Structure 1
Amino acid sequence: MAIYHFDASVISRSKGRSATAASAYRAAERVVDRRTGEVHDYTRKHGVEHTEILAPEHAPDWARDRSALWNAVEQIERRKDAQVSREVRVALPSELTAEQNRDLVRGFVQAQFVSRGMVADIALHAPGREGDQRNHHAHIMLTTREIGPEGFGAKNRDWNAKEVLVDWRSSWAEHVNQTLERCNVHERVDHRTLEAQREEALERASVAERNGDERVHVAEMARAVELDRPPLPDVGARGWSMMRRGIATPASDRWQEVREIGLQVREVAREFQTQAREWLERTLDRVQERAAALGLARAPETALERLQAARASRGAMDAPQTALERLQAARAVRGQDRGVEVARNVESAGHALTQQDRERERMLEQERAVERQRAAERKGPSHER
């Protein structure tokens, strides 16, 4: 599935970094830093699928040459702690072809950066040999000064505003989704927090339930389950470098743990949706059969009619949202790890869509009561101390 990732950072001398070294590494090229005399040779680096430089039309020709561009940046900056470049890293949809991803990045960079007067150095990277093979991504190095026909001018402090960064983040999501739609790919990305997306899914599920649209209701509830997971933590450039070399760090270990939780939750959410759909299909088939057996003039047609007929013929039934409520209640009582508990309980939620689950519900309620009693007993002595 398409994954949203947008990260912006600054390349600064205060951290021992340079624009020439960064550009050489990302483009897998050889760049000589004329200011320091250092040679940055990464021509043996693998995984760089495409590189190019985009600049405003009025920019001088040398601005489109990687070595000349970043050497000019280094020479114009005098401070020891100068910020020599801004870098944006974005995840590319694995559902798109290499050409489609190139066009996607070009359009976004032209609209958001070049049109503002920046020069953008783009490098599209393939997934690492050891990591997730869907991890196609792009590095976009940006100049911090506006460029004119005569070269670089003053730094534009407006580009540091939080509102601009927020606009870049939402704009990337829009560009990705427009490209996915144009390429007939069903997947979409969202730049908002997981919590905000989950609340929206629950609201849509509630609206669908009120309208009697059980299919949309099931789909949105499954999406809410999938979003009920912790976000991936930030590892940092140094952490990523160590991970690629096979060196574990606390940050990388945590990232791997959270990523595994996310994969488990997605898998369980898909299973949940599949079982819920099967339950719905079986229910509707029985309604049609019952209508035919009773000799009704017509079988229920709309989703609301079918749902009402099913409930009337079979009595009150557990709908998919009840499964999620059980999941949340069980997690709150047991107080176990958030992601793992989601996986375990949603798996049970899928099976909870049958009549036999009523007995399980009764047993779960007994378990809750026992846990509450134990919690109360544990809590009492702590207040006395």
Structure 2
Amino acid sequence: MKIAFIHQDKKLKTGAGCINSLISCKLEGEGVEMIHFYPKVKLVDAPHHMKGFNNILFFFSLLEHRNKVLSCDIIQGTTYTTIAFLSFSTPIVSHFGSTTSGFIHATPHTNQTEPKLRKIWNELKQAKIINELNIKTRRPLRDIADIENLVAKRVTAIVATSEIVKNDLINSGIDETKIHVVHNAIEDFWFENSPTTTTTAPFLVYLGRIGQNVFTLKLKGLDRLIYAYRAFRDVPKLSILMTANKNISSWLRSSINLHTVYTNLYKPEIKEKLSALCGSILLVTSRYEGFCLSMVEGMSQGIIPVTFPVGVAPEIIKDGVNGYLVNSEKEMVEKIQLILSDDVLRKKLSAGALASSKQFSSKNMTTKLMTIYKEIVANKPNKYKKRLNINK
């Protein structure tokens, strides 16, 4: 089997780039020939309000490799990255780790947030951490959401990383029968030398992307995180952030009591720091996640998730067993207090979180993907002769 794997313009080591690398490596281990393609030519120097279209048109530069791409058994991409090949008959698999429509619907304007959270956004603006309380336009995001929907309707099969992503797609009119839920995996090294003892001095921990502008900062729940951190002034805190926004990391370091902040660490370094804090509490404050890889990484080191119902959390988190699902900042604070006040419960939850993480092995993910790919190839001659009409 030969798969044309379409990537972003550069090899990223986080998010979708990390998952794509893991998928590629594991499929090659199963004997699949992976041929990688990276678009390199920007076709339009577009103004800001056309940024969405600019990102989309970028992938049409891959048509210069058309013959090589179409010689493969399957074309694999992320959301809309396969758009240039929709009119050809080669089967296409699109991997949806999230949906842009999900981002848009989950992220409020500042005046729609609760007063206690609105106060935090005004504080951040006054401190010049953000330049505005709302992004000027969501049009580029809406353009991308529309294109994602078009591509999803026309590809052969969709891999959704959670039931939340699957439901996003179904609610957008996508045929449920071609959506396959395959959970992401974390790298094998996360399961090596698992921690065996819980710390006697638990931290509050945040791990993952925190956002760049006011929209993505809201999406990741920065206001919720600040609120929760401030509710526990005397509890030590650790934030391991992925961000290029130096202002936000500096502000968090200086404005939150007992707070250690690291930015853009390599994953082995992250594992080392988390392993030493086994039995601590992981705060997942996002308003939307398609999967939430960082939550699973934390769980693999015995860090207990207290999470809003985003990504894969509603599928795997069982209250009082391996963490807690919460629906408000007040409830998050209450669950944190409960865990901190009961060491027996904390150790039980830590062990439960670590045990639950083991289902997210690369072997499980690869087995499910190979089943999908083999079915597509077996049915290729008759089932996928022609792409759906563009207007359907």
**Same fold at TM > 0.5:** no
Between structure 1 and structure 2, the one with the greater Rg is 1
Alignment TM class, shorter chain as reference: under 0.3
Larger RCO, structures 1/2 (Cα 8 Å, 6+ apart):
2
Name the structure with the higher helix share.
1
TM-score, normalised on structure 2?
Answer: 0.24
TM-score, normalised on structure 1?
Answer: 0.25
